[in-house]
């Protein structure tokens, strides 16, 4: 499995070789530096910890993390993620060139925050009549009987906070890779607003 950390730069359009116009998300992918390798013998599982976006001020690094960066011989990074990869060692660099045009990937990130929303926007409820004096326009309706269950069931779909959830979108196709600019162009949309930190994993 190949994984990399990236930053969503925004969306644009891209003309394919056959002349089709497709929407793409532009992602600044890497370079990511391997700062720790985890093995089944020492940690119980196999993975690598990689860092992305170098920190400008070393004083902002906690002492335990500063020790890890010092041991790895790398600068301090803002973003740290683990990927279940092998064959890498501390100090290696994962770049956008690890991916190629046509690869199918999954992208994970934090979705856009929508604040407090009602049931029609949050859960796609139909709502009630909008005319003839109806007072039941965007209300949720019954949330439980008075005799039974005499309470609101856990998990009832109601109004509340929407967004800011971790979302993974699978089966996205890489349209183009520009290693010299550390850019990956992914067909379609990926979770989160501009400048969101995302994880890109090459699917098997």
pLDDT, tens only, 112-150: 999 999 999 999 999 899 899 998 999 999 999 999 999
pLDDT digits (tens, 9 = 90+) for 144-169: 999 999 999 999 999 999 999 999 99
Q: From CA 55, how far away is CA 78, in angstroms rounded?
A: 6
Specify whether domain 32-94 bears CATH 3.30.460.80: no
Model-level pTM?
0.81
Q: Where does CATH 2.40.30.10 sit in the chain?
A: 1-28+99-113+163-204
Task: Find tokens 């940690």 and name the residue.
Answer: 43
Distances (CA, A) of 98 to 93, 109, 118, 137, 188: 10, 20, 43, 52, 20
> What residue ranges of the chain are covered by domains with CATH 3.30.160.810?
32-94
Domain 1-28+99-113+163-204 in this protein, CATH class: mainly beta
Beta bridge partners of 105: 172, 202
């Amino acid at each position: 499995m190949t994984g990399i950390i990236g930053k969503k730069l925004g969306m644009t359009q891209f003309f394919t070789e056959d002349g089709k116009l497709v929407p793409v998300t532009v992602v600044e992918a890497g370079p990511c530096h391997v700062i720790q390798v985890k093995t089944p013998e020492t940690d119980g599982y196999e993975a690598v910890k990689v860092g992305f976006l170098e920190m400008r001020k070393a004083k902002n690094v906690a002492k335990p993390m500063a020790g890890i960066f010092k041991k790895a011989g790398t600068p301090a990074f803002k973003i740290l993620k683990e990927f279940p990869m092998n064959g890498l060692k501390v100090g290696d660099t994962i770049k956008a060139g690890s991916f190629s045009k046509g690869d199918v990937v999954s992208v994970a990130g934090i979705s856009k925050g929508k604040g407090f929303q009602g049931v029609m926007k949050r859960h796609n409820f139909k709502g009630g009549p909008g005319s003839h004096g109806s007072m039941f326009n965007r209300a949720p309706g019954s949330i439980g009987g008075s005799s039974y269950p005499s309470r609101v069931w856990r998990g009832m779909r109601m109004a509340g906070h929407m967004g800011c959830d971790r979302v993974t979108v699978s089966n996205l196709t890489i349209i183009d890779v520009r290693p010299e600019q550390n850019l990956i162009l992914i067909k379609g949309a990926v979770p989160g607003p501009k400048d969101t930190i995302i994880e890109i994993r090459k699917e098997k």
